[in-house]
Every structure is written in structure tokens, then in C-alpha cells.
Amino acid sequence: MTVDTPVREHQLDDYKSDEKPTWCPGCGDFGVLNAVYRALRTKNFETHEVVAVSGIGCSSRIPYFISTYGFHSVHGRATPVATGVRVARPDLKTLVFSGDGDAFAIGVGHLVHAMRRNLDLTYVVMDNAIYGLTKGQTSPTSGAGFQTATTPAGNPEQALNPMTLAITCGATFVARGFSAEPAKLADLILAGINHKGFSFIDVYSPCPTFNKVNTFKTYKEESAWLPDSHRTSDVSSALAYATSDEHKYLGIFLEREAPTFEDLVAANHSGTEADRPALLTKMFKRYS
């Protein structure tokens, strides 16, 4: 006779590392971190079942503050590192954390292809519309006319829209949250974790040190949650809300089912280990 060992219910502190967050006081990233703790606790993950991958930037420090596996990669390369993790260790729940510069500038090429492949990742962007780590330069999500050290006469470029990028590039779960509402943000992250496929969550995460335009007050005044009438399976509706001038909408814009990259890779595997030498010989002859 065997006796099942009861599953221990984890507490928030179980997911906190010994490292204390080093962000500036008032940084929106604290709210994101709190939401991640809540989501992990709700899923009751064992800490060895999760890996947090990041690139470079203020937001990319987050793996140090979570008591799971972590990989602090180089600038813009969080997505390819996470891809390797997913393919090599599909048993691990992989969370990717990035900033608007890391995701939409140097890392955007990797991000686009991860979306179209529908990798089973949960990708969270802490979007503050500024380069915070390097002391306040214009980022891809900075608005036109935005004045910084690199654009003293005003930003001549229009801001990139992360939501339309994700929707049109193939992400099967697209959402946006606000770090000032960590409980609702935790629900979005949890929904992204539960979704099988590429889950993209852009988060308004204000930088009180270098961005005096995109503030907590601004987002509170300009944002609104998507109405209950919005159908998340409707791509046209998702794009309409993503491009609306009425509000900066929050919530789940799109959620649909599609085969994941991992599923397709597994389906292409055939034969046994004994077949590999013959396959390699055939390949070498073809290309020699």
C-alpha cells in the first residue's frame, strides 16, 4: 500500500530569493515582480519547475529576485536563450522578462520569429517608454516629440505599438497590464502561463526617475479595461482596441489555439537512435 505525499501549499515568500530588488524607489517593476509572485503561488509551482530568462536592462534584473532557475542573458537575446530552454527542457515552465528597449529594439528580430513559431513561452515586457538603465534615452515606445538626452528637440519617430506587433506576428495570447494594479496583472500573467503557445504581456511600468511624461497618473487617467463584449478570438476586434485613440486598453486582446513549435518539432522526430548514423551519412553526402 502506498501513501500519497500531500502537496504543500506554497506561500509568496517561497518564490522570493535572498536578493533584494535594486530598482529606484517608485519603479513600476516592483508591481510586476509582485504580480509574478502571485501568479507562481496560484499555480503552486515548485521552484525547480520554473525558469526565468531575461536580457539586459532594469527589468532584466528580475531573475535575481525570484527563487527559481534563472538565466540573465545578453542584450536582446532573452528569446533565443528561452527557445533553447524550451526545446531542451520542455518540462520547465519558461518565463521571459524584458524591457521595451531589450524587446523592441535590439531583440525585436528574435521576438518576431518566436511569436510566429508559437513557442510555449510567457513573455512579459516591462514597458516604461524610456531607456532607464542607461540613464534616460528614447526607446522604441517613446512617443513622437518626446524629449530626452538623445532627442533634445523632440523624438522625430512615432512610437512602436507592441500590441499590433504581437497580434500580427502570430502570438496566440496577447494582453496588456498596468503595474499599479498587481492583482489584475497577476491574473493576466496566470492566464498567459496557462495558455499553450506564445503568451505576450506588455505592462505599463512607469519609470519615475527618467520619464516624467508616461507616469502612473497618466496611465491611470488614460487607461481602461477592455469591455466584456470584446471577444478574444476576434483578431479584428483585438486590432481595433490596440489602435484605439479613446483609451490605452488593458486586458486580454487575443487568445487563440494553434500548434506550438515544440509540438511541431516533436512531430517531425521519427525513427530511433540507431537510424541516426545512416541519416547523417546521407546528409553529408548530399552537401559534400
In sequence order, what are the residues at sequence separation of 6 or more whose Cβ sits closer than 8 angstroms to the Cβ of residue 288?
none
**Residue-wise pLDDT tens digits, 87-129:** 889 999 999 999 999 999 999 999 999 999 999 999 999 999 9
**Residue-wise pLDDT tens digits, 205-242:** 999 999 999 999 999 999 999 999 999 999 999 999 99
Q: Tell me whether residue 156 is exposed, middle or buried, using C-beta atoms within 10 angstroms of its C-beta: 0 to 12, 13 to 18, 19 or more.
A: exposed
Which domains are seen in the chain, by residue range?
12-287 (3.40.50.970)
Flag whether pLDDT at 49 surpasses 90: yes
Reference 124, options 192, 31, 223; nearest CA is: 192
pTM above the 0.85 mark? yes
Confidence of residue 165 (pLDDT cuts 50, 70, 90): very high
What is the sign, positive or negative, of the torsion defined by CA atoms of 147, 148, 150, 155? negative
